[in-house]
Chains A and B, each alone.
Chain A
Amino acid sequence: MNFRILYRPDPGHLFWRADLTGADLWTVAARCATLGDPTMLDDLRAGIRIPSLIGLMLEDGYRPGQDRALIRQDAKAYRARLIASGRKSFDTTLKKGGHLTNYGGSHKRIRQTVIEDTYAETGVPWDPGLDLCLRVRNTYLSRYWGLPRWWADTAFKVTRTGRLTMATGQVREFLSRRPKNGKLDDETRREALAAEPQSVTTWICNQAWWKLWSDLENWTEGAVNKGEPIVQVLLSVHDELAGQCRVDHRPFLASKLTSAFDQPITIGRITLTIPFEGLTGPSWGECKEPL
């Protein structure tokens, strides 16, 4: 049930959302590319929906070629088929499978997470089975072969120095846990792998928030209520900013959000700008109209 529909803008205003969903994946892709595998980064740049591509490879024996525009089209069509046939839980398995595989999760963990997430979404848990989860994981790793390199690189850094320095400048020291026999325990390894993607996504959102706040134009350009910004940030949710602005300031909103999220960041040896999706609507839960 969508409870976000209860969060509404003030009269004469619209609600907006700027979403960096999938942002974590860009960090993972940049790290893999730095270590020699640009596949994930190229797929993301081409706009390919990765879980759908994995599903296509798994179910239809699809062999992606060099033409990424075609891959993108095929993945989109596959997803449409999946949703039309009511197999949303299978799509959840593909999404979670990919997400957890990025951070070294096992097929057992994927299964556990899918059960928890389908329960959280629908109130009824769905069990994908261990076999399917293993196949999703293996298919994912067959395409993105740079992932184990990234895992080993991260584990090496934490084992040798006890710390990780992120692209955002954050230095995280993994204090209480020490590697046994030169090997990191699973929990520390997962936390270490998830650290930088989360740090980067949050950093970009916070930077965008600050840019909107400190932009003088956002306070003076045709402002109706003195002392309040035109583009108002009312919520920060990990990979998303949300807020409101007056309906007649929609073009201004589009321009300011684009500028706020235009933040090149260097991760490893790759400099990229993580794209965002801007949507508006009559409530937080009904933001469906693209900017």
Chain B
Amino acid sequence: MDIQLKRGLIEICVLKVLTLSDSYGYQIIKDVSKCVTISESTLYPILKRLESNGLLTVYSVEHNGRLRKYYKITQSGRKRIEDFLSEWQEVMDVYNFIKESNINE
């Protein structure tokens, strides 16, 4: 898959995972992996970019004597998900159209 496209998709998956609940690095990787293959080195830059674009915020929580970073989705983040869904509705329509035509032949 095109790298830029994949990166964009992973970003949306991360945001979606955060709508269910605030989460931390390792948990996010596990949850997103259910949907699309992601490696640790790709997640960090993505989280960083989402943060600098204001789509999520970070806070620390103490856990077993160390500090764990939790990520929380923002209002802009939720809006981004909605935009994605409406943009891709059209893609889905085209996909379905193409799939159907093949079956008829």
Query: Do A and B interact with each other, yes or no?
Result: no
Interfacial residues, chain B to chain A (CB-CB below 8 A): none
Interfacial residues, chain A to chain B (CB-CB below 8 A): none
